[in-house]
Structure 1
Amino acid sequence: MIKIKRLDFLDVAKGIGILVVVYAHVMQQYIPPHNILNVFIYSFHMPLFFVLSGIVSQIKENSGKTKIDSQYIKKKFFQLMIPYFVFSLIYIILNIIQVKLGVIHFMFPDKKILFDIVKVFTLRGLAPLWFLASLFVADIIWKCFINKFESLKSRFIIVIIIFFINYWVNTLHYSKLPNTDLIEFMIYVFLFRTSLAFAFMVIGSMLSRYFVNTINQNIINYKFKYIAIFTGFFISLSLINLIFRNGVNMHLYVLGNPIIFYLTSILGSLTVIMLSIIISNNKILQSLGKNSLSIMVLHYPPMPFIQILTYVILGIPLFLNHRQIRTLFVTVLTITLTYFSGIFLVKYCPIFFGKKRK
């Protein structure tokens, strides 16, 4: 059996990941998309979660804890797709309420609501709930096929094939897609985006062999080694983003330069994982990581209300006029609210997350 201690760094990595996800979504309200910090975060923040899922899935596979059958599929459906549909409905209802209250504005609100419903049922998804649908399908595919490709070489070939297909689609074919049927286009986005999610899970499964073998080492004895590796990855990731400024949005299947996206996705994931190993005892990040799913699905709707709360009700001190500080302030409030709301809902309304009340 895998000891819980081995998974501490993964919880920390998820904690870091959910922090940057919420920060990036808040930042969109104040900072242009081409801002270098926005480019930096989007270059890896969602692939990170799929890589981490691949690491966890491989660890469970090695311990013999899971097998693919109807029970496994049912369990995953309840864990991921029930929250997907439940919170999609909540998102749409809240959008209607916010439009009525004048909190948000759409040129054609009725069409926007219909458009959102189509997004949900094509699994293209609403932000950030799309992650749940893609993870569900990618995880099932991973469980079905991964035992047939156990060698690193075969898994590497799978990743290269998927990356090549998506490179070809993005560079040669993507511009033609907006002219296709809307529903067909949304399904297309879901399928190719999910293929990338699967590829990142396979990469995670390959990396897990290294981390499972090394994480039992005394971190104190190897701390400088991990710090040096982290520093190298971070500098490389920063330089690539500074040079290329590759615009990415995995939700919309916008990859910019696909090769740069693949590179920054892997580098960014490794950077966060190395940092999480160094600070694996951080209890706050561990707790955020353990509750990252609830924060992921809950943080988006309250952001407009939190912005109003900070501006109208509380008032904002002059020093918070700086965009980055303002973004950080709203992020902290959003994380705090959704963290405790998630704990409450999991305990008292577990069906929202596909769980039974204990």
Structure 2
Amino acid sequence: MSITRINELDYVRCIAMLMVVMGHVLFSLKIEHTALIAIIGICEMPLFFVVSGYLAHKDREESFKETMSRLLVRSRTLLVPLVVWSIVLNLCDERITFSLSMVYRGGYWFFIALWWCDVLNTFAAYTSKKFKFCMVADMVLYSSIYAVILLGRIKDIDLGGILPIQNVQYYFPFFVLGLLMRKYKFVNDVTLNKYSYVVGMLLLIIGWYFSSIESFVIWFVAACGAVVVVWMACREINSELKVAKILSIIGKNTLPIYAIHYLFIAIMPCTLRDVLNIPHGFFFQLVITFVYAVLVIFLCLLVDRILSLNPITRMIFFGESKKREW
């Protein structure tokens, strides 16, 4: 049975990906602690994780063998790019080493953090379906898992560097939120409605204003507001518009864009630094980084198309056996 694609999810991922590239452009130019950086930092990654959680839920019953098979495929598509593109980036930076950093650069933490969320959810979802948990039982189950994550954060357990416990601690709740939204209509209706949209906008604005405090609670609450606001806004995009089709293409290909974009950020012209280094230059930063981010995304898609033409290179660089949609 074919699965109907949910266009708004592609739009959300596109916006998140654009923010990621813009944020990395700003950081590469040594521009930090600005209003633009704050809003990007609040929105970008929670959007990715909530959409990933939403797509992680499967309605149909699966055997344990099918569940493990799906996890292995998912692991391949996340861990292969993590290793391969980390090595590529290290070689481009002339960092030849056999340490863990060779296969796990800080910028690629997203792949392994999302993989951990998938692993935890795979076993939780299997348990939930096997024992036919209701919504309350599911919340207790995932809360228990999160309690273990918090304990690991307190103990600073990182399993030799392969467990980004701080990132998992922050983003796992967003992953679970997306999953519960997909699984339970009640959660979806409470999260996405005209009233939550207003509340979300207020939380985002307030959280953004106080973001300099760098409080986990403030950033988390603001990010929840950002998820609601961006998702609701994406619902209003007419899928027949040309811009919607462009957003959809980017949203369907965020994995290769995330993997490749660091190469283009690393070779950014230094002349941009003088252009952007303007006191209170929010709009200068916004416009210039947006234009550069669009260019980077276009180049990433071009590289991805070239590498994906051959199934062997597609498997080597992205761990995928099938072509992604365009």
TM-score, with structure 2 as normaliser: 0.78
Gaps of 5+ in 2: none
3-state SS of the aligned residue for 2:47?
A: helix
Which of 305, 323, 326 is matched with 2:267 structurally?
A: 305
Provide the aligned length of Structure 1 versus Structure 2.
306
1:22 corresponds to which residue?
Answer: 21
**TM-fit CA distance, 1:353:** 0.9
Structure 2: distance between partners of 1:54 and 1:288: 19
Please list, as runs of the form range in 1=range in 2, the aligned pairs for 1:89-238 lying within 5 A after superposition. Answer: 89-96=87-94, 114=97, 117-119=99-101, 125-149=104-128, 150-161=133-144, 186-187=161-162, 190-209=164-183, 229-238=196-205
Q: Is the 8 A contact 1:137 1:194 kept in 2?
A: yes
Tell me if the contact between 1:44 and 1:268 (Cα under 8 Å) persists in the aligned partners.
yes
1:78 alignment counterpart: 76
1:89-146 deviation line (CA, Å, top 9, x unaligned): 11111111xxxxxxxxxxxxx6xx54x942355xxx3243221112222212211112
Amino acid at match of 1:264: A
What is the identity, as a one-letter code, of the residue corresponding to 1:118? L
In structure 2, the residue matched to 1:252 is none
Paired position in structure 2 for 1:41: 40
Query: In structure 2, how many angstroms separate the alpha carbons of the residues matched to 1:22 and 1:278?
Result: 24
Quick check: 2:207–2:219 contact (8 Å CA) kept in 1? no
1:87 pairs with 85, 88, 97, which one?
Answer: 85
**CA contact under 8 A between 2:142 and 2:176: conserved in structure 1?**
yes
Letter in 2 for 1:241: W
Q: Which one-letter code corresponds to 1:342 in the other structure?
A: D
Distance 1:66 1:347, change over 3 A: farther
* Residues 23-70 of structure 1: CA deviation (Å, up to 9, x unaligned): 111122346432122122212321221111111111xx1144786544
Report the Cα offset of residue 279 of structure 1.
Answer: 1.3
Q: Secondary structure at the match of 1:299?
A: helix
2:227 maps to 1:269 = yes
Q: Which residue of 2 aligns with 1:243?
A: 210
Change (3 A) 1:199 1:280: farther
Q: Structure 1: which 5+ residue stretches go unaligned?
A: 97-109, 216-224, 248-256
Residue pair 1:23, 1:328 contacting (<8 A) in 2 also: yes
The one-letter code matched in structure 2 to 1:350 is R
> Alpha carbons of 1:355 and 1:303: their partners in 2 closer, same or farther (altered >3 Å)?
same
**C-alpha distance in structure 1 between counterparts of 2:119 and 2:258, whole Å:** 21
CA contact (8 A) 2:203 2:221 kept: no
Distance 2:224 2:134 in 1: 20
The answer (yes or no) to whether the contact 2:13–2:48 under 8 Å persists in 1 is yes
Report the alpha carbon displacement of residue 201 of structure 1 after superposing the two structures with TM: 1.9
Contact kept? 2:53, 2:174, Cα under 8 Å = yes
Partner-residue secondary structure (3-state), 2:93: helix
TM-aligned CA distance change 1:146 to 1:262, over 3 Å: farther
TM (norm. structure 1) is 0.71
Tell me the alpha carbon deviations over residues 186-238 of structure 1, each in whole angstroms, 9 at most, x when there is no partner: 35x623433544433221111124669989xxxxxxxxx96775454233212
1:246–1:46 CA distance, 2 compared to 1 (3 A): farther
Q: 2:247 and 2:213 mapped to 1: Cα distance?
A: 28
User: What amino acid is the match of 2:59?
Assistant: N
Change (3 A) 1:162 1:32: farther
Q: Secondary structure at the match of 1:62?
A: coil
What CA distance in whole angstroms lies between the structure 2 residues aligned with 1:15 and 1:194? 22
Q: Identity of paired residues, percent? A: 20
What is the distance in 2 between the residues matched to 1:212 and 1:284?
32
Bigger Cα displacement from structure 2, 71-80 vs 206-215? 206-215
* Distance in 1 separating the partners of 2:135 and 2:39: 29
Q: For residues 239-264 of structure 1, give each alpha carbon's deviation from its aligned partner in whole angstroms, at most 9, with x where no partner exists.
A: 222024354xxxxxxxxx22223322
1:62 and 2:59 equivalent? yes
